[in-house]
Amino acid sequence: MTLLELQGVTRFFGALSAVNGVSLGVDQHERRAIIGPNGAGKTTLFNLVTGHLVPTRGRILFAGRPITGLPPHRVARRGISRSFQRNNLFPRLSVLENLRLAAAAGGRGSWNLFGSVARLREPLARAHEAAEAVGLAARLADEVARLSYGEQRQLEIGVALATQPTLLLLDEPTAGMSPEETQRMTRLLAGLPRAVTMLIIEHDMDVVFSLADRITVLHGGEVLVDGAPEAVRADPRVYEVYLGTDAT
Amino acid sequence: MKWRVPGFALAVVAVLLFPRFAGTYPVTLLQEILIFGIFAMSLDLLMGFAGMVSFGHSAFFGVGGYVAALALTRWGADGVNALLLPAAAAALAALVIGYFSIRVSGVYFIMLTLAFSQMFYAVTFQLAWLGAEDGIVGVPRPRILGVDLGRSGAFHLYLVTLAVAATLVLWRVVRSPFGHVLRGIHENEARMQAVGYAVDRYKLLAFVVAGTIAGVAGALYAQLVGSITPEAFLWRTSGEALLMVIIGGTGTLGGAMLGAAAFILLQSLVSSYTERWMLLLGVTFIVLVLFAPGGVVGALRGRIGIRA
């Protein structure tokens, strides 16, 4: 079953098209990597899916229902969650509180003005689960500012995961990480539950090939190649765009 | 914080017993501090917790004051209604002003809230029905639940009770799930949206809660001084509340009460010696912001933290 479907999605910034007529479908439980040189429109594509940007043209369907033009919080409530390329956390709150806030986002409990936070058991349990999944169970009480950069990246994923999404969008989860941290992050991502469909933007090809079931290559805002990892690896056009624009 | 509960209890007892040892003027000052403390705490909910700096909080203080004055002079309201009606009116005003203001943030939010409060000033200044520039005078102190607040002891108890109630309610709110959402919005509004919070609705509710409590403060003020004038709506009233919150330490609630005390004491003590009390206030404020950016409470915490 197709979980996410983009139909001719286009986004102009002024006269410039950042994403141009992109059509693609992501199956349920699939792990899809989106790759492409800088400026290929990868993050813009994410922003269009999550409602941070509105498409100039085209339709986006999630679980068969249109989500085109919905504001970010409504998209999130449908079950789409994302992590960001640059850490986007609650810096002065604890790890647990970061996760708990994300976990409580959908519930009515957040409208409680007089109750106790400790009594929000379900979000709290989910926050603990998310911490476990991203390897931060030992750091729950620590303020975000006291985590290492790599741990903050893990928390970035954890916050996205704590909302219990059906579709998880990861924007360069290993950005700025050391080789060791990248390895740990790759293991962590591989270990996430298969029930969560994953769309991942990544520059590190080792990460891409060890995670992705399928790869979409974007170039100049358009889909260049879309296929199984082996096919993409063997495709000469992919090498061309990478070598032609920047020597990754 | 082990000293919080005993410290609070001690302060309440001291404030309750104060009239036994002090004359009329100091007691009036203390009562003014309580009222402006409530007002400043309600602003701190917005500033310190939700990160919404409003420069128009006087709108709700004024609405509360005017409705209380009308209720007591013309509508023959009892003590309970002289609180509930102003609170409801202030809540409604906050709902309307908030609805428009929270669409923008930062400087634009400051300007918009300021503009709304100045509009109230302009309107009350013109309306003969509301006494125009003289406002409403001769506001009596009502009877509440069979107790005559005209008696000074009863009125003092009434004020202390409401100040304690406002403090406890706000303490509870900032620690509730809702309060935590406000902190999240303060920390990172965009991420709150991205994980699924309808941020604007939470901000609006915070604005209404703060406005309602400010309205109660305004109602109490009208009952304390026996009148209300358009001045209540003036930007100066909002500015003073902002100063009180910053002096005391934003995001601490208790600090807002301390800030109100510092401000009002400075104002009354120094102004009896010199006309230039604003100058001294300005200098105090600058020194505080430069050397104790966490306000009085922040400085105290630092001191205690070092000792511990």
Per-residue pLDDT, averaged over A22-46, amounts to 93
Contacts of A117 in chain B (CB under 8 A): 175-177, 180
- Tens digits of residue pLDDT in A180-192: 999 999 999 999 9
The mean-pLDDT minimum among A83-87, A94-98, B77-81, B187-191 falls in B77-81
CA distance A130 to A154: 10
Q: Judge whether A237 is closer than 8 Å to chain B, CB to CB.
A: no
CA distance B249 to A216: 52
As a whole number, the mean pLDDT across chain A is: 92
- Residue A86 contacts by C-beta under 8 Å, 6 or more apart in sequence? A175
pLDDT computed for residue B177 by the predictor: 95
Q: What angle do CA B111, B116, B122 make, to 5 degrees?
A: 120
* pLDDT at position B286 over 90: no
> For A228-233, which contacts have Cβ atoms below 8 Å and span 24 or more sequence positions?
A233/A209
* pLDDT at position B59 over 50: yes
Alpha-helical segments (H) within chain B: 4-21, 24-44, 58-73, 81-101, 107-126, 152-175, 177-195, 199-225, 235-248, 254-271, 277-291, 295-307
The band of A51, judged by pLDDT with boundaries at 50, 70 and 90, is very high
Taken in order of first residue, the domains within chain B and their CATH numbers are: 8-307 (1.10.3470)
pLDDT computed for residue A247 by the predictor: 44
Quickly list DSSP for B26-78.
HHHHHHHHHHHHHHHHHHHIIIIII----S-THHHHHHHHHHHHHHHHTS---
Q: Which of B228, B180, B174 is nearest to B58 (CA)?
A: B228
Q: Retrieve residue A142's tokens.
A: 């620590």
CA distance B88 to B94: 10
**Is A193 in contact with A224 (CB distance < 8 Å)?**
no
Q: Cβ of A121: how many Cβ atoms within 10 Å?
A: 9
Q: Judge whether A143 is closer than 8 Å to chain B, CB to CB.
A: no
Burial zone of A187 (CB within 10 Å; 0-12 exposed, 13-18 middle, 19+ buried):
exposed
Strand-pair category, A197-201 with A167-171: parallel
The band of A244, judged by pLDDT with boundaries at 50, 70 and 90, is low
As a whole number, the mean pLDDT across chain B is: 92
CA distance B218 to B227: 11
Give the percent of chain B with pLDDT over 70: 97
pLDDT computed for residue B171 by the predictor: 95
Q: Retrieve residue A182's tokens.
A: 């990248």
CA distance B130 to B160: 29
- Residue A20 contacts by C-beta under 8 Å, 6 or more apart in sequence? A10, A41, A220, A221, A222
> Which residues of chain B have a Cβ shorter than 8 Å from any chain A Cβ?
172-173, 175-181, 183-184, 187-188, 190-199, 202, 205, 209
CA distance A66 to A168: 18
pLDDT computed for residue B2 by the predictor: 67
Residue B196: which of A84, A106, A113 has the nearest Cβ?
A106
Contacts of A115 in chain B (CB under 8 A): 176-177
CA distance B212 to B63: 10
The arrangement of strands across the sheet holding A167-171 comes to A80-83, A167-171, A197-201, A31-35, A214-219, A222-227
Per-residue pLDDT, averaged over A223-247, amounts to 81
Residue A88: which of B180, B191, B199 has the nearest Cβ?
B191
Strand-pair category, A167-171 with A65-66: unpaired
Contacts of B204 in chain A (CB under 8 A): none
**Is B162 in contact with B156 (CB distance < 8 Å)?**
no
Contacts of A160 in chain B (CB under 8 A): 195
Q: Cβ of B12: how many Cβ atoms within 10 Å?
A: 15
Contacts of A102 in chain B (CB under 8 A): 195
Question: Which neighbouring-strand residues pair with B148?
Answer: B143
Please answer yes or no on whether B196 and A105 come within 8 Å at the CB atom.
yes
The band of B283, judged by pLDDT with boundaries at 50, 70 and 90, is confident
pTM exceeds 0.80, yes or no: yes
Residue A73: which of B188, B198, B209 has the nearest Cβ?
B198
- Tens digits of residue pLDDT in B243-263: 999 999 999 999 999 999 999
Q: Provide the shortest C-alpha distance from residue A243 to chain B (in Å).
A: 35
Q: Provide the shortest C-alpha distance from residue B206 to chain A (in Å).
A: 10
Q: Provide the shortest C-alpha distance from residue A89 to chain B (in Å).
A: 7
Which one-letter amino acid corresponds to residue B240? E
Alpha-helical segments (H) within A163-228: 179-190, 205-211
Give the percent of chain A with pLDDT over 70: 98
Per-residue pLDDT, averaged over A60-66, amounts to 95
**Is A246 in contact with A37 (CB distance < 8 Å)?**
yes
| B170/A120: higher pLDDT | B170
Taken in order of first residue, the domains within chain A and their CATH numbers are: 1-79+196-248 (3.40.50.300), 82-164 (3.40.50.300)
pLDDT computed for residue A248 by the predictor: 46
**Is A81 in contact with A133 (CB distance < 8 Å)?**
no
Please answer yes or no on whether A159 and B178 come within 8 Å at the CB atom.
no
pLDDT computed for residue A242 by the predictor: 76
The band of B272, judged by pLDDT with boundaries at 50, 70 and 90, is confident
Q: Which of A99, A155, A153 is nearest to A123 (CA)?
A: A99
Q: Which of B147, B155, B198, B196 is nearest to B27 (CA)?
A: B155
Q: Scanning the structure block, which residue is given the tokens 């009308």? A: B70
Could you give the count of Cα atoms lying within 13 Å of B128 in the half-sphere of its Cβ? Answer: 0
Please answer yes or no on whether B187 and A93 come within 8 Å at the CB atom.
yes
Residue A116 sits at φ, ψ, to 5 deg, of -105, 145
Residue A73: which of B175, B180, B196 has the nearest Cβ?
B196
pLDDT computed for residue B214 by the predictor: 98
CA distance B65 to B227: 8
Please answer yes or no on whether B177 and A115 come within 8 Å at the CB atom.
yes
Residue A90: which of B172, B184, B193 has the nearest Cβ?
B184
Please answer yes or no on whether A104 and B177 come within 8 Å at the CB atom.
yes
Q: Judge whether A227 is closer than 8 Å to chain B, CB to CB.
A: no
| B303/B172: higher pLDDT | B172
* pLDDT at position B308 over 50: no
Per-residue pLDDT, averaged over A222-229, amounts to 92
